[in-house]
Amino acid sequence: MAFIVMGTSYKTAPISMREKIAVATSEQVHVLQELCRQDGIEEAALLSTCNRVELSLNAYTDRIGADAARAFFAERLGEEPSRREFYLYRDIDAVQHVFRVVCSLDSQVLGEAQILGQMKRSYETAVEAQTCHDIMTKLYKLALNLGKRVRSETGIGADSVSLSTTAFKAASMNIEDFSSSSVVILGAGEMAGLISHYLVEARAADIVVVSRTIAHAERFAETIGARAVAFEDRYDALARADVVFSMMGSEDPIVAKDELARARSAVGRSTAPLVIVDEGVPRNVEAGCDELFGVVLYDQEALADIIDEGRAHRAQAVAEVERMADEAVEEFLTWMQERLVSPTVKEIYSKGDLVVERELKHAQKELRKACGGELPEGAADVLEAYGNAIVKKLLHGPVMRLRKEAKSADSFYYTEAARYLFGLDTFPPGTRRIPTEVANIMGTGKLPKNLDDLPDEVAQLLAAHGYTGTVDSIPNELLEQIKETFLAEGRNAQDTKGQR
């Protein structure tokens, strides 16, 4: 496994960048499926919220995963993602990051409850796309269970904080009495439901719900005793409002400065106070709207500046939450170790056997030359026995120590180190490196005068493609055929490994 998480959040990038790469719910399944069609990408999940956009990949190697993630974000941005604005976590660091996010330790509002639901939907979308298999399923199930536990067993969720809590506080700083105020909610989803609870408790005088689908708006409005207005009539509702909360999914702003100004003028409220809280990413409200007289606009970045009065109390639970997250990381790594150690040992010995087999062929070839064409009776068996004995003795110590550490806290590190040192992921058993001689041919197009100077496997490939002469060059078409033969063998070995 090479697990990576790459993304950006409110901590590293402004909203203007986050809204460029935000992935609408309707396109997430397709995005995940396209990612997993790439060579070397085994699993993928996407978390796209108002505060962060993160891509989690389980890839054949971390380089393959990191390259795929960078390419994904570069395509959405139209330029290479900057290291200042995008973070990249690998392996254990990536696992730790997932657990910190689900616990809301990395949230804009410490202890906010929405992230747990967002992570759950991220997992469900990956399952729907069939891009979440054994490893990421285990990771997400542990993460979601951890998210529930920290909220029920610690004080991290005290005061039921969320982005909607902060949004309501922002509006309350400008509205003394909601019972005499007209409120418009642009949206009818989960975030709209959260803000509506505060408005009902505050006895808002008039609540209007606007959604792209009038039937959806009517169903939601009925649950809170509000009125529903068609999306195309939203500006008339906005012009008459004292407060607007917007949280709709949209690539482009749904509230434009000029149209809002005309609507306010038409109903004689050009100078009336209006508070707009924009929770959308991408932004729902055009940035220039706060230039209109009487309009106060809060977007995601403005909300971040509002003091969260309950943070100090919730911060007391951080140490306990971090301890629980560390335990979850250890549980996941132990599971991974149990999953990896036996196949790793098997692959180490398999690779050793292949080396013995390959080197025996060379040794027998040289012995035949030295003996006039035939090996002495029993010589091949003796060579094979010595070769196998040497490999077993060399590998016995490392394998025994690897098994010994299987149940230690650092077990996963040892297994990953073994896989790296023995090249099990880069060159798994059965993969042949392109020999130096072939690499030279690829680079220069030149062959040595005497083909006997090449390894048997290279000479055989040349002969198989119809080349047996001793000239100074070889056609480019033939070079490509030879190269493809070697690369195809490497891919087949990788496919075999992926089916373990």
Q: For residue 284, give every residue at least 6 positions away whose Cβ sits within 8 Å of its Cβ, in sequence order, or none.
A: 186, 246, 247, 248, 250, 253, 254, 255, 278
How many angstroms separate the first and last alpha carbons of the chain?
Answer: 12
Catalytic residue among 36, 50, 103, 132: 50
Alpha carbon 231 to its chain's center = 34
Phi–psi pair at 392, nearest 5 degrees: -65, -40
Judge contact between 182 and 208, C-beta under 8 A.
yes
Whole-Å CA distances, 375 to 359, 378, 380, 382, 387 = 16, 8, 7, 11, 17
**pLDDT reported for residue 493:** 41
Interatomic CA distance for residues 345 and 469, integer angstroms = 44
Contact 249, 27 (CB under 8 A): no
Edge-to-edge strands of the sheet including 243-246?
A: 227-230, 206-211, 182-186, 243-246, 274-278, 295-298
Q: Which is nearest to 122 in space by CA: 47, 69, 189? A: 47
Tell me, what's the pLDDT at 266?
94
Q: Is the peptide bond before 282 cis (omega within 30 degrees of 0)?
A: yes
| CB within 8 Å of 275: residues ≥ 6 apart | 170, 171, 174, 175, 242, 243, 244, 296, 298
The candidate with the shortest Cα–Cα distance to 403, out of 353, 333, 337, is 337
Q: Which of 121, 118, 120, 123 is nearest to 45 (CA)?
A: 123
- Enter the DSSP assignment of 181: -
DSSP string, 324-383: HHHHHHHHHHHHHHHHHHHHHHHHHHHHHHHHHHHHHHHHHHHHHHHTTT-PPTTHHHHH
Nearest to 212 by CA among 239, 246, 178: 246
Amino acid at 480: E
Neighbours of 15 (CB within 10 A): 22
103 counts as catalytic: no
- Closest by CA position to 294, among listed 315, 318, 322, 265: 265
**Sign of the four-CA dihedral 36, 39, 41, 47:** negative
Q: Which domains does the chain have, with CATH numbers?
A: 2-158 (3.30.460.30), 163-307 (3.40.50.720)
pLDDT value of position 197: 87
Angle at 297 between CA 293 and CA 298, to 5 degrees: 165
Distance (Å, whole) CA 321 – CA 147: 10
User: pLDDT (tens digit, 0 to 9) for every residue of the chain, 500 residues total?
Assistant: 689 999 999 999 988 888 889 998 889 999 999 999 998 899 999 999 888 999 999 998 888 999 999 999 999 999 999 999 999 999 889 999 999 999 999 988 888 888 999 999 999 999 999 999 999 999 999 999 999 999 889 888 766 566 788 888 889 889 888 989 999 999 988 788 888 988 988 899 899 999 999 999 999 999 899 999 999 999 999 999 999 999 888 888 999 999 999 999 999 999 999 999 998 888 899 988 999 999 999 988 888 777 555 666 677 889 999 999 999 998 998 888 778 788 888 889 988 888 888 888 888 888 888 887 787 888 888 888 988 899 999 999 998 888 887 766 567 778 888 888 888 876 666 555 544 545 554 455 454 555 455 555 556 656 555 555 544 445 666 656 555 555 554 444 444 334 43
Q: Has this prediction a pTM greater than 0.75?
A: no
Q: Which residue has the tokens 């590190």?
A: 413
**Among 272, 33, 22, residue whose Cα is nearest residue 129:** 33
What are the tokens at 72?
């994904």
Q: Which amino acid is at 108?
A: Q
